[in-house]
Amino acid sequence: MKRKFVALLIGAFVFLFPFYYMLIGSLQREPDPSVGGAFPQPGNLTGHNYAEINKAIDLGRSLINSGIFTGGVILGTLVFGVLAGYALARLQFRGRGLVFNLMLLIQVVPFQLLTIPLYVLIVRSYGLADSYLGMILPFLINSTAVFVFRQYFLQLPAELFDAARIDGASELSILWRVAVPLVRPALLTGVLLTFIGPWNEFLWPFLITKQQDLQPLAVSLSNYLTTVSARAANPFGAVLAGACVLAAPAVALFVIFQRRFISSNLSSGVKG
């Protein structure tokens, strides 16, 4: 038992040490890339690196842009993912199998291959350059989220849906009142999986807009790290500070929601 506990502690230390080193390095006044830099003197700790980033890219505005971009993507993913997943799992219509197979095919196509045609469509055809909608639109429907929701809806007992239809409930009412409350873990999973992608995305927003006041945090930090950080007083600390700013919201979201990932009894609504 003690050996397992020690092994778990060692594993946790190995996993968490890079995050600790990133945070400590971002607070150092003088760069120290050696192993000893993980245990700096208190007098060498400062928030100057964060102040330099904020002065260069306006962290507040970049965070708002990332929130709008990521929030729009999450909202679209949940709404369209739940609707499409429910239709593929519980509705009978001609071509359902073909639609599902096409959705699986989309998952094997890298997004980078679609970047150029999407750019021409969004910017030239729709005229959505330099806009939040232009950044959000290509990510509104996530095939992975549709697949996850479909699998969850398939696990629900068919008797629940049959009873609701006998009572005269519409399909949207069944979805909202019966199905969605039973698949809350899937909703939380969809939020976390969707959040990570657009929050760290920098290629597509960079193509859509070159205006700094519209760029999400990942794009602003990428520009900062490639153009400004080398001229900072502590380039090493500036790079780590940028990484900390980008990682902090994702870590906070996981800490908030990780307690809610509980298994639910999907058959609890069936008598007997």
Question: Is residue 256 scored above 80 in pLDDT?
Answer: no
Is the pLDDT at 243 greater than 70? The verdict is yes
Average pLDDT over all residues of the chain:
83
Q: Is 151 exposed, middle or buried (0-12, 13-18, 19+ CB in 10 A)?
A: middle
**Residue 231 clears pLDDT 80, i.e. is over it:** no
More confident residue, 72 or 37: 72
Rounded to whole angstroms, how far apart are CA atoms 198 and 183? 23
* Whole-angstrom distance, CA of residue 190 vs CA of residue 146: 9
**Dihedral sign of CA atoms 158, 162, 164, 169 in order:** positive
Sign of CA dihedral 139, 92, 101, 153: positive
pLDDT digits (tens, 9 = 90+) for 159-196: 888 888 888 888 888 888 888 888 887 888 788 878 88
Q: Does residue 73 have a pLDDT over 70?
A: yes
On whether the pTM is more than 0.75, the answer is yes
The pLDDT score that the predictor gives to residue 33 is 66
Query: Taking residues 250-264, what's their average pLDDT?
Result: 69
Do 72 and 260 touch, CB atoms closer than 8 A? no
pLDDT at 272: 46
CA R_g for the chain: 23
What's the confidence (pLDDT) of residue 260? 62
Q: Are 185 and 261 in contact (CB under 8 A)?
A: yes
What is the mean predicted confidence (pLDDT) over 14-28? 85
pLDDT for the residue 130: 92
| pLDDT greater at residue 225 or residue 219 | 219
pLDDT at position 266? 47
Task: Give the whole-angstrom CA distance, residue 220 versus residue 231.
Answer: 16
71 pLDDT exceeds 50? Answer: yes
| Arithmetic mean of pLDDT, 109-119 | 86
Q: Fold for 69-219, please state it.
A: MetI-like fold (1.10.3720)
pLDDT at 35 over 70: no
Q: What is the pLDDT of residue 161?
A: 87
Q: Is the pLDDT of residue 1 over 80?
A: no
The three-class DSSP label of residue 28 is: strand
Q: What is the mean pLDDT of residues 215-236?
A: 78
What are the boundaries of each domain within the chain?
Answer: 69-219
pLDDT at 70 over 90: yes
Which whole number is the average pLDDT over 32-51?
76
